[in-house]
Chain A
């Protein structure tokens, strides 16, 4: 694997990581915001025996996050040219060097 390929792989995985972090922060904002906002209602409003805040604040984002995860996974699978790498390190600083 060439140095350019390693650089491309590094940049690709860094981009993937940024997407993952963005998804995480969006989910957190939804869950905490909606749950506490709706959870202030007294007495607690129930939908089919489940608190409304739990349905909209937790249940719904679970479903949406699953959809986002699925899209993210397909996007990762669709990436090509970054499969099994060849060993790149010299003897020094390589786990094989003193094995």
Chain B
């Protein structure tokens, strides 16, 4: 078999080309942010900063959507699981094959339509107006803030891990570099800068992963030697359940529900539809996205599996992706390919910083507390909160937990448990009421927290807590809505048309 030397030991010799590639990557990112910021001049600040004046096109929408979705968990945590658990992780990730269909097909067009019609800039905005409830808006904003800070911590950790392996940097220095870079361009350029840099980063991600996969397959001599090696270590690495019963049927089912639905409950993803302003843009973006996802996700998991063969001596599974790249890709190209996970991390951080910033400035300060905002004041507050949230996540990330992917799953499924039912009921069911939305929100979030506290990631019947939380959330939302008086007729007609009355 090829190299069995720990991949991080190989890195130091290659660091010059890797460093140059990273510098080039960061320079391009800042140039794009600068161009976006120039284009934004003279526009109304809040609408420009949080939804780019609703002028995002299909390509940028598709790429920013997928770049936000693909995080450090995707590029660091998921390959780490594949490295540990072999081919079973292809079932674990298989729900992504329908993620564009559910993510854009179910809510995309509807939210774009309602966003343009109502002027909503954030998801709490939309729910607040649908149910005429400031309380609902405030609670959703606070939950977004709490869970996204946890998610941000995971991204910072992932970014620092890439820096550790790619540049031989100490963990703390990697953290500082990642957080400083992304916080500055997010605060500077707002949504348009985030979307443009996301689009660039999405291209880097896909290019990097496809190149890495090609080189890794070449170096391994195809799948045959890898399968032999895995079978020698444990035949379960080739089985659908994986070693140590990693993926029993109940968990396979859970993840096929979690991934396609979790994207529906992500304020950072849904807010992209608010920025498109035209339903035809969503339709075109769906087509672009489905091709992108098909190429990206199976490649990432396969790379993790190849990594077990090519880079077996890593210190922690989270190093599987960068170590495999280093082991397989030629020196002159390693920097570009290593920029792929870095791009995924930066694009997610920037989007989440923006959403948490909007939760504070737009949802809590502006709409709930009712403070007036001049453009100047909005700019100061938005940029200030972006830096503040970045600093809080950075401080927490200095003491990293072991597995990134579990933080990501907790945050994303927690948000989904909270947001999905109230959102779907709000936009698709005229009979949904404010009390029903409260019941769905508290039922979903409370049930999720309770199950995690009592039974961790495997709840009743071995299913993920998300499945039960979501079911309860919908059930309570529907029952309580039916038991309470409908929202006023004018509001229902305004949202649903004549049949909504």
The B95-124 residues at the A interface (CB cut-off 8 A) are 95, 97-98, 100-102, 105-107, 109-110, 113, 116-121
> In the complex the two chains form, what is the Cα distance from A46 to B229 in whole Å?
13
Q: What is the interface residue range for chain A against chain B?
A: 35 or more
B256 adjacent to chain A (CB < 8 Å): yes
Most chain A C-beta atoms within 10 Å of own C-beta, residue among B235, B239, B367: B239
Q: Which of A10, A43, A53 contacts B499 (CB 8 A)?
A: A10
Which of B97, B126, B128, B428 has the most chain A CB atoms inside 10 A of its CB? B97
Measured CB to CB, the nearest residue on chain B to A4 is B498
- Asked if B282 is at the interface of the complex by the 8 Å CB criterion, the answer is yes
How far is B93's CA from A59's CA once the two chains are assembled, in angstroms? 12
B280 proximal to A (CB < 8 A): yes
Contact A66 B294, beta carbon cutoff 8 Å: yes
With known contacts A24-B101, A35-B240, A94–B119 Cβ distance under 8 A? yes
User: Are A39 and B101 within 8 A (Cβ)?
Assistant: no
Smallest CB gap from A82: residue in B: B279
Flag whether B497 is at the interface (Cβ < 8 A). Answer: yes
B298 / chain A contacts, CB cutoff of 8 Å: 58-59, 62
CA distance A48 to B119 in the complex (A): 54
CB distance from A54 to the nearest CB of B (A): 5
B284-303 contacts to A, CB under 8 A, are 284, 286-287, 290-291, 294, 298
Q: Is A7's CB under 8 angstroms from B227's CB?
A: no
A48 to B87, CA, bound (A): 14
A88 adjacent to B494 (CB under 8 Å): yes
Query: Which residue from chain A places its CB closest to the CB of B228 in the assembled complex?
Result: A49
Bound complex: CA A54 to CA B242 (Å): 12
Interface size on B, residues (CB 8 A): 74
Is B241 positioned at the interface, with any CB of A under 8 Å from its CB? yes
How far apart are the CA atoms of A44 and B120 in the complex, in Å?
Answer: 53
- Judge if B496 is at the interface, Cβ distance under 8 Å: yes
- Contact of A16 with B117 at beta-carbon distance under 8 Å, contacts A62-B298, A76-B282, A93-B494 already known: no
Question: A-side binding surface: helix, strand, loop or mixed?
Answer: helix
Q: Which residues of A contact B499 (CB under 8 A)?
A: 7, 10-11
- A90 near B367 with CB under 8 A, answer no
Q: Which residues of B contact A21 (CB under 8 A)?
A: 102, 106
- Asked if A84 contacts B277 (CB within 8 A), the reply is yes
Complex Cα distance, B125 from A81, in Å, reads 26
User: Which residues of chain A in 1-55 are interfacial with respect to chain B, using CB atoms and an 8 Å cutoff?
Assistant: 1-11, 13-14, 16-17, 19-21, 23-24, 27-28, 31-32, 35-36, 39, 42-44, 46, 48-51, 53-54
- A74 CB → nearest B CB, Å: 7
Tell me, yes or no, whether B366 is within 8 Å of chain A by CB.
yes
Which residues of the partner chain B approach A46 to less than 8 Å between Cβ atoms? 223-224, 227, 238
Q: With A and B bound together, what is the CA distance between A11 and B427 in angstroms?
A: 11
A88 touches B97 (CB 8 A): no
Question: In whole angstroms, what is the CA distance A68 to B287 when docked?
Answer: 10
Decide: A10 and B500 in contact? CB cutoff 8 A.
yes
B169 an interface residue at 8 Å Cβ cutoff? no
A36 to chain B, nearest CB (A): 6
Give the contacting residue for B116; candidates A24, A59, A85; CB below 8 A.
A85
Contacts of A17 in B (CB 8 A): 105-107, 110, 428
With A11-B499, A35-B91, A90-B494 known to touch, is A83 a contact of B279 (CB < 8 Å)? yes
Complex formed: what's the CA distance from A68 to B490 in Å? 39
Whether B490 contacts A85 by the Cβ 8 Å rule is: no
Given A31-B91, A82-B113, check contact A92 B132 (CB 8 Å): yes
Given contacts A32-B256, A58-B94, A90-B494, contact A51 B87 (CB under 8 A): yes
The answer on a CB contact under 8 Å between A99 and B118 is no
Are A20 and B117 in contact, CB atoms less than 8 angstroms apart? no
Residues of B within 8 A of A53 (CB): 240
Residues of B within 8 A of A14 (CB): 428
CB-CB < 8 A to A68: which residues of B? 101
Known contacts A48-B223, A95-B121; A6/B102 CB under 8 A: no
In contact, B222 and A48 (Cβ under 8 angstroms): yes
Q: In the assembled complex, which residues on chain B have CB atoms less than 8 Å from the CB atom of A9?
A: 113, 497
Q: Are B119 and A20 in contact (CB under 8 A)?
A: no
Q: Are B497 and A3 in contact (CB under 8 A)?
A: yes
- Kindly provide the distance from the CB of B46 to the nearest chain A CB, expressed in whole angstroms: 7
User: Which of B252, B367, B497 lies in contact with A32, CB distance below 8 A?
Assistant: B252
A39 and B239 alpha carbons, distance in the complex (Å)? 6
Q: Does B90 sit at the interface, judged by CB under 8 A?
A: yes
In chain B between 329 and 357, which residues have their CB closer than 8 angstroms to a CB of chain A?
A: none
Given A7-B498, A50-B223, the answer on whether A84 and B106 have CB atoms closer than 8 Å is no
Pick the most buried of A50, A62, A89, A95: most chain B CB atoms within 10 A of its CB: A95
Determine if A85 and B227 form an interchain contact, defined as CB atoms under 8 angstroms apart: no
CB distance from A62 to the nearest CB of B (A): 5
Contact B227 A50 (CB under 8 A): yes
CA distance A59 to B113 in the complex (A): 35
Q: How far is the CB of B297 from chain A (nearest CB, A)?
A: 9
CB pairs A–B below 8 angstroms (15 shown): A3-B497, A9-B497, A17-B107, A20-B106, A27-B256, A35-B252, A44-B239, A46-B238, A48-B224, A58-B90, A66-B290, A72-B101, A72-B286, A76-B105, A86-B117
A32-B256, A82-B279 provided; 16 other pairs, C-beta below 8 A? Answer: A10-B500, A27-B94, A35-B94, A42-B235, A43-B235, A44-B239, A49-B222, A49-B223, A59-B298, A61-B94, A62-B294, A62-B298, A65-B294, A89-B119, A89-B129, A89-B495
In the A-B complex, the 7 residue pairs with the closest CB atoms: A49-B223, A7-B497, A20-B105, A6-B497, A39-B240, A69-B290, A76-B283
